[in-house]
């Protein structure tokens, strides 16, 4: 994308929409001038022009929750920039993952919540919890459940019994438990997929 194609407004600014390149959540909206755009391209870190501070502003310069650029696009009217980025922490300065309502973000965040529930059941006082009982049985039993649920999902697809969604949910749930048992998170799975450049 060439800078000459961008139509800046009368104040020399253009809105930049920041989107999580993995989850596609809209993280925030900021403004760039020519210098901010150029620095973003050269550094690979999202840089805005702060209207309140009247200077260039690297997102995360104090919190270190920077936005690492993965790709950039310009819209058909050449007056808005879309930045696909990897956030190095919560984007909102108030703590949430995005500057918008976190209730409306994608399933990745739901997986994070699920991981939190799993943690609370394992460490909590719910002795009759299915998660706690399964976790105590160890990796072999957890792995057996993953294999079982994968088989049921595959059979459901082949037989078209109408239970593929339910069986897939069971598989994903038990996979998250297995990852927890092995000290990994679902985010690390997403990160691995990203390294494979599945967009090409």
Residues 6+ positions from 71 with CB-CB distance below 8 Å: 21, 83, 84
End-to-end CA distance of the chain: 19
Question: pLDDT 10s per residue in the chain (200 long)?
Answer: 555 689 999 999 999 999 988 778 899 999 999 999 999 999 999 999 999 999 999 999 999 999 999 999 999 999 999 999 999 988 988 888 889 876 666 655 678 778 888 888 888 777 789 999 999 999 999 999 999 999 999 999 999 999 999 999 999 999 999 999 999 988 888 878 878 865 54
Q: Are 115 and 172 in contact (CB under 8 A)?
A: no
List the CATH code of the domain at 3-100.
3.10.20.810
> Residues 86, 90, 94, 100: what is their CA dihedral angle, to the nearest 10 degrees?
60
Are 44 and 71 a contacting pair, CB within 8 Å?
Answer: no
DSSP string computed for 2-59: -GGG----TTS-EEEEEEETTT--EEEEEEE-HHHHHHHHHHSB-EEEETTTTEEEET
CA nearest 178: which of 121, 139, 129? 139
What does the alpha-carbon distance between residue 19 and residue 30 come to, in Å, rounded to a whole number? 12
What's domain 106-192's architecture?
Orthogonal Bundle (1.10)
Instruction: Give domain limits for the chain.
Output: 3-100, 106-192
pTM of model > 0.85: no
Q: What are the residue ranges of helices labelled H in the chain? A: 34-43, 107-123, 130-137, 139-159, 164-181, 186-195
Query: Cα–Cα distance between 167 and 165 in angstroms, integer?
Result: 6
């Amino acid at each position: 994308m060439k800078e000459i194609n961008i139509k800046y407004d009368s104040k020399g600014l253009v809105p930049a929409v920041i989107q999580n390149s993995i989850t596609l959540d809209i993280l925030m909206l900021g403004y760039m001038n020519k210098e901010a755009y150029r620095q973003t391209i050269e550094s690979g870190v999202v840089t805005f022009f702060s209207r309140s501070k009247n200077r260039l502003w690297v997102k995360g310069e104090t919190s270190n929750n920077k936005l690492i650029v993965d790709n950039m696009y310009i819209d058909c009217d050449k007056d808005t920039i879309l930045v696909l980025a990897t956030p190095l922490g919560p984007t909102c300065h108030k703590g949430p993952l995005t500057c918008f309502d976190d209730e409306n973000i994608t399933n990745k965040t739901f997986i994070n919540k699920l991981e939190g529930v799993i943690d609370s059941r394992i460490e909590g006082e719910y002795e009759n919890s299915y998660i706690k009982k399964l976790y105590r049985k160890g990796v072999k039993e957890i792995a057996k459940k993953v294999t079982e649920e994968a088989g049921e999902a595959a059979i459901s697809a082949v037989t078209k019994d109408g239970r593929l969604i339910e069986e897939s949910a069971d598989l994903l749930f038990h996979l998250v438990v297995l990852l927890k048992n092995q000290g990994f998170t679902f985010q690390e799975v997403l990160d691995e997929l990203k390294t494979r450049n599945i967009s090409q």
